[in-house]
Amino acid sequence: MGLNSLTLREAQEGLKAKKFTSQELVKDCLDRIEETDGKIRAFLAKNPLALKEATENPQGIPVAIKDNFNTSGLETTASSNILKGYLPPYDATVVRKVKENNGIILGKTNMDAFAHGSSTETSDFGPTKNPWDLQRLPGGSSGGSAAAVAADQAIFAIGSETAGSIRGPAAWCGIVGLKPTYGRVSRYGLIAMASSTDSPGPLTKTVGDARTVYHWIKGQDPHDATTVDQGEGTVKEIRDLKIGLPKEYFRPEGQKEVNETVWQAAKVFERLGARLVEISLFDPQYAISVYTIVQRSEVSSNLGRFTGIRFGHGRETFNAENKRRIMLGTYALSAGYYDAYYKKAQQVRTVIIDDFKKTFEKVDLILAPTMPSVAPRLGVTQGQSMYGELADILTEPSSVAGLPAISLPCGFVAGLPVGLQLIGPLWQEEMILKAAEEFERNTAWHKEKPKL
Amino acid sequence: MSQGLTKAEVQHVAQLANLPLKEEEVVDFSQKLSETIDYVKRLNEVKTTAVAPTYQTGGTQNRFREDEITPSLPPTEALKNAERQYNNFFVAPDVWD
């Protein structure tokens, strides 16, 4: 196997020990992309200077960046025709930080156009395929980033989550995806979707890698007034942890084998000394409506800037899903409907937040399946008015509450990866990462690779 | 609250959103938007009397800074992707009828 199959930690150690060079590392990734991306379609614009940058930076590590992050001089489209040909004049803060930490951009990865989806099927440039089964979807909207990591095309990737867009693809592609607390990581230069929940985060092969990248990208940014320099909370040992399993998240209409796989995985934490507690959470189905209204309202406002005046093409270039979301949002914010929809949704949002707050007085972390099923087949999203929002039922509550969460591989059903998620209180990423790392140390799911 | 959106309502929203819609889109959106609105009406099952709305979970407020000039994009860079520019300005369509 080539150097492209290394983890971030292995790549860093190998480069330091001079076992191989950064050019060899980048070249193996580029070869792997050449060899497999015809089938997977994870990448959009590729960085023609990647090998040259590796020559100039002996510590360079190849990374894939989701196409909604502005990358200076490298085409950025958010997988939408409206930005075809757009060359950003600046780097997003997250991109700048990744570069400062020796990240070498291999290219931009495919996503649902403007992140309006949970499958990567609504990309204007064609869907990305799941490396575990090319007839299936990788999840979304960070599907390209997840597929690139799962297929060992990149050592790690950057994605973003508004509700499920890091965790979902991580689960369906069998990798680690961390969604930090809203406000931990700067959104400057991230093409906005829902400004009150958008959270950039890493997609990686191991929990340790996710922690490394998380520490690179977090931190207050003068360019993003919603960022906070908050410390990490006290981290408990596994044997002192109380982990809540919410019965409402093991849904009867979900895939039975997925629920069972996650239950079995939860037992690992128990064997390691944690206490598992069955809890009851506010029914997540309400979060679907909250999220649909809040997100689509904020989308309608944020996408108002795409007029073709300062950049991009005309508004008729939006795809049907983009237009539908803008329309719903505009309606929900319009005179006569604002109170009934947007304000009501934000009130139920408070109810959800309070429910989590009360729950975290009783347990330290919440454990549940990330997605109710394994990766679906291509074509499943056609003709649906709310496919994405319905599929993300298990991630929407924590997203609207701004909470941090991680998805990690915990098993397989019929050869397709299953992810479990750990949700923590605000600002408790380190507690989540520590528990996740213990699980990973005692299992081998993260070592499985798709056969391509 | 109307059961579904009429064509006229869809056209009104499209105008508010500055979205040029084709005839087939108006018909499709009437149906899809109505479906979505019917779904989200479930929120009426949740009691929210005296519950304050949450607009932002991070708790930050009023981030101010001194009114000082700091490095920013030079005009040439900022105008780079504009289709039309004039004397260091973006050119916008005429808003007068």
Determine the straight-line distance between the first and last CA of chain A, rounded to whole angstroms: 13
What's the pLDDT tens digit per position in B29-83?
899 999 999 999 999 999 999 999 999 998 888 889 899 999 999 999 999 999 9
pLDDT at position A269 over 90 = yes
Contacts of B20 in chain A (CB under 8 A): 314-316
Q: What is the pLDDT, as a whole number, of residue B95?
A: 83
Banded pLDDT at A132 (limits 50, 70, 90): very high
What's the pLDDT tens digit per position in A312-336?
999 999 999 999 999 999 999 998 9
Q: How many CB atoms lie within 10 A of CB A174?
A: 29
CA A164 to mean position of chain CA atoms: 6
pLDDT (mean) for A71-78: 98
Task: Tell me the domain boundaries of chain B.
Answer: 7-44
Catalytic annotation present for A205: no
Which has more confidence, A417 or B1? A417
A203: exposed, middle or buried (C-beta count within 10 Å: 0-12, 13-18, 19+)?
Answer: buried
Q: What percent of chain A has pLDDT over 90?
A: 96
A207-217 vs A93-100: helix crossing angle, rounded to 10: 110
pLDDT at position A262 over 50 = yes
What's the pLDDT tens digit per position in A341-389?
999 999 999 999 999 999 999 999 999 999 999 999 999 888 788 888 9
pLDDT mean across residues, chain A = 97
Could you tell me if B2 lies within 8 Å of chain A, comparing CB atoms?
A: no
What's the pLDDT tens digit per position in A57-72?
999 999 999 999 999 9
Task: Provide CB contacts within 8 A for B94, sequence distance 6+.
Answer: none
Contacts of A309 in chain B (CB under 8 A): 82-83, 90-93
E strands within chain B? 85-86, 89-90
Task: List the CATH code of the domain at B7-44.
Answer: 1.10.20
Are B60 and A226 a contacting pair at CB < 8 A?
yes
Q: What is the pLDDT, as a whole number, of residue B2?
A: 47
pLDDT at position B1 over 60 = no
Catalytic annotation present for A141: yes
Q: Which of A405, A319, A304 has its CA nearest to residue A117?
A: A319
Contacts of A286 in chain B (CB under 8 A): 42-43, 45-46
* Amino acid making up residue A388: G
Banded pLDDT at A265 (limits 50, 70, 90): very high
What's the pLDDT tens digit per position in A79-99?
999 999 999 999 999 999 999
Distance (Å) of CA A186 to CA A52, A212, A433: 28, 17, 20
Q: Tell me the CATH architecture of domain A7-284+347-447.
A: Alpha-Beta Complex (3.90)
Q: What is the pLDDT, as a whole number, of residue A318?
A: 97
Cβ pairs A/B, distance under 8 A:
144
Banded pLDDT at B3 (limits 50, 70, 90): low
What's the pLDDT tens digit per position in A241-260?
999 999 999 999 999 999 99
Task: Provide CB contacts within 8 A for A173, sequence distance 6+.
Answer: A130, A131, A132, A138, A139, A143, A146, A147, A149, A150, A375, A417
Alpha-carbon distance of A357 to A351, in angstroms, equals 10
Given the cut 0.85, state whether the ipTM is greater than it: yes
Q: What percent of chain A has pLDDT over 70?
A: 100
What's the pLDDT tens digit per position in A161-214?
999 999 999 999 999 999 999 999 999 999 999 999 999 999 999 999 999 999
Of B43, B54, B65, the CB nearest to A353: B54
Cα atoms in the Cβ-side hemisphere of radius 13 Å centred on A162: 29
Banded pLDDT at A280 (limits 50, 70, 90): very high
Are A311 and B28 a contacting pair at CB < 8 A?
no
Alpha-carbon distance of A142 to A164, in angstroms, equals 9
Alpha-carbon distance of B18 to A431, in angstroms, equals 46
What is the value of pTM for the model shown? Answer: 0.97
Catalytic annotation present for A407: no
Are A328 and B36 a contacting pair at CB < 8 A?
yes
CA A257 to mean position of chain CA atoms: 24
pLDDT (mean) for A283-308: 97
pLDDT (mean) for A397-413: 98
pLDDT (mean) for A216-245: 94
